[in-house]
Structure 1
Amino acid sequence: MLCRAAPGCRATLLVHMAAAPYPYDADPNRNEPAFFQGRDPTTGEGTRSRADRTFSAGGNYADDRVLIHVPPGFDPARPFRILLFFHGHLATLRRDVVGRYDIPGQVNASGRNVILIAPQLARDAIDSHPGKLIRQNGVADLLAEALPVVARETGLDPDRLARAPVVLAGFSGGNIAVVTALERGGIPGRIAGVILMDALFSEMDRYARWFEANDQRAFLFVLYGEATERNTDELIAAFRERNLRFAVRFPAGEIAGDANFFIRVETKHVDIPSDGPPRAPLAAILHRLPPFEAFALVPPTR
């Protein structure tokens, strides 16, 4: 527990979960490709090599914790959203999601009725693999395990939690977890929107297909800098080809449920989740969402 009934939170918890992305290894019964690429000669544990560095099962792929944050102003009597946030490379929940980027504080500052759920992906590693979330309904399984904890902390009816709209957000290497959640997460009728912060290092065609199939029911908000400019331009071109409307300026008012935004920023890549602009970008985007998204309850087209 990080805090409970304190000025900055109603509850902020790190919870061990079986459905968390890690630990993970390929399941031969599911015909999954091998995950670990080698074995440590001393410990025998699995290893993966990325960018000339080696990461180990025990050190980087074993953290089964999930961050759950309920803001101090949360009102269980009102409609609410779930923000499912996926961090980037070389990150931990406590140091980066809570500390460096203050994602719980941004949820608080948004002034919206939002519950934050953020799983630990590969811990302090250069690796975008989403672990168990790659499996069919992996996100649904994660939420199913997290929501009883939320119900206990808020008094919310579990049935309401199970129907709540979900906004997916990812920074940098969290991109793969986001697009996997879209395609096979098991919550297609609940996805209200996607927020990407300098995250389009790949998968532009997958995003284009999903938003074409789900136009009119989910928004896309992309903040991007130099690191992902070329790929973001590719996705913008794909949106044009599909006649999907979008804007390139930060909205002054509410974000419609089917709106799309591509906002170029000059901020250093690692600072975008905190500095945007605008500063605390998640807070600003969440604040501009309407109080309740009826569009989030529209059945998906595919």
Structure 2
Amino acid sequence: MLTLSRRSILLLAAGLPVLAGACTPSPPSLAAGLSRRTAGLSPSPGATALVNFDTTPFPFHGAAPGRGKPFMDVTDGARLGHSSLRNGVLWEDQTYADKRVLLSIPRGFDPRRPSALVVFLHGNEARLDRDVRDRQGVVRQLAASGINAVLVVPQFAVDAKDSSAGRFWEPGVFAQFLGEAGRRLAELNGTPEAAFVFDAAPVVIVGYSGGYLPAAAALRYGGAGRRVRGVVLLDALYGEDDTFESFVLHRGPGFFVSLYGKSSRAGNEALKRRLAARGVPMGDDSLGEAIGAGAVAFVDAGDAVPHGDFVTGALGGDPLTAVLSRLRGFPRSPAPGLLASE
């Protein structure tokens, strides 16, 4: 007899895999319900946009964990600012006021199929349009991967040397952000009635460089729980070792992949030693042909590619595509007869 948890039933009803890397067939009654909910849906023509959100990392008027003062600790009349050792004062209206989120739905994305939601957390000195979309080609790399996934990229500190997680340090805010992303993606796709597809999709967190800090905050405080099915670090392991170690140790069917070069090699090698001491099986310093449920992989990309070009140049080019294309369970172009609505 098949026994399902309430969470599993909700995922199956949305046409989503219960385990990362494996699609679980739904019972006839659930499949019939899914057919009714997705009967009018079809593959997306594709869309990319910068969208204003209500729930975003910034503005942030709390305090970072372990700090005894507000994040915005400088005032100049009505103007607020954040003091830092690397930057001096960063003013809120210039650096921490952008509430836009980059959303992208690849052409051919099929809401009737199991899907994933990729959250990309950029590093320092970045803008969503100039850097994430245009220079690093993150939208293009997701589209080229061939997986049935959508992209969500929140703006953190604008064009500044700052890795702060902002409101992602607040309990539950990351989960709220994901909820809003589901609604906004459905609107962007022109199918607001299909928000449930995005709202329940398993989440893959990708952190590049300073994005490790928001990634760790999302894992530790975010409230998304088992919905986070994978973590990918791109030359990004500069700290928060305990948080990433905890994710790996409790990952269940989730996966963890860290690609690194000279910049973060020390941090990666240290975490590898910690995990090995705990008996965690790891790959052979390569991505292999597939990234399955429970996979843990550390891949040394060498020193040839500078840290600033890592997102486009590592592993011979387009490392994000290389990782995402190896995920199983989310084909964008399924074989005939495998559509959830059939």
- Over aligned residue pairs, what C-alpha RMSD do you find? 2.2
Which ranges of structure 1 fall in alignment gaps of 5 or more residues? 1-7, 294-302
1:106–1:280 CA contact under 8 A, matched in 2: yes
Distance 1:85 1:32 in 2: 29
Q: Does 2:329 match 1:291? A: yes
Q: What is the Cα deviation at residue 60 of structure 1?
A: 0.4
Q: Which residue in the other structure is 1:232 paired with?
A: 268
Q: Does 2:303 match 1:268? A: no
1:203 to 226, 232, 240: 240
Q: Which residue in the other structure is 1:127 paired with?
A: 162
Q: Which residue in the other structure is 2:195 paired with?
A: 158
Aligned with 1:20: secondary structure? coil
Q: Does 2:127 match 1:92? A: yes
TM (norm. structure 2) is 0.78
One-letter amino acid matched to 1:48: S
1:142 to 154, 177, 184: 177
2:317 to 271, 275, 279: 279
Percent of pairs identical after alignment? 32
| Pair 50,59 (structure 1): closer, same or farther in 2 beyond 3 Å | farther
Q: What is the Cα deviation at residue 33 of structure 1?
A: 4.3
Q: What is the Cα deviation at residue 68 of structure 1?
A: 0.5
Distance 1:66 1:222 in 2: 24
Q: Note the alpha carbon deviations across 1:72-130, whole angstroms, 9 max, x for none.
A: 12111111100001000010100110011010000110011110000001111111111
Distance 2:87 2:155 in 1: 23
One-letter amino acid matched to 1:157: A
Q: What is the Cα deviation at residue 48 of structure 1?
A: 2.2
One-letter amino acid matched to 2:148: N
One-letter amino acid matched to 2:214: A
Distance 2:79 2:224 in 1: 37
Q: Does 2:146 match 1:108? A: no
Q: Note the alpha carbon deviations across 1:228-260, whole angstroms, 9 max, x for none.
A: 111111100111011111114323311112111
Q: What is the Cα deviation at residue 205 of structure 1?
A: 1.9
Specify the structure having the higher radius of gyration (Cα).
2
2:239–2:267 CA contact under 8 A, matched in 1: yes
One-letter amino acid matched to 1:253: E
2:123–2:209 CA contact under 8 A, matched in 1: yes
Q: What is the Cα deviation at residue 160 of structure 1?
A: 2.7
Q: Which residue in the other structure is 1:254 paired with?
A: 290
Which ranges of structure 2 fall in alignment gaps of 5 or more residues? 1-43, 332-342
1:26–1:32 CA contact under 8 A, matched in 2: no
Q: Which residue in the other structure is 2:337 paired with?
A: none
Q: Which residue in the other structure is 2:90 paired with?
A: 55
Distance 1:124 1:153 in 2: 26
Q: What is the Cα deviation at residue 39 of structure 1?
A: 2.7
Q: Note the alpha carbon deviations across 1:120-142, whole angstroms, 9 max, x for none.
A: 01111111111111111111111
Name which structure has the greater RCO, CA cutoff 8 Å, separation 6+: 2
Aligned with 1:45: secondary structure? strand
Q: Which residue in the other structure is 2:7 paired with?
A: none
**Equivalenced residues, count:** 282
1:74 to 93, 105, 109: 109
Mean CA deviation greater in 156-165 or 241-250:
156-165
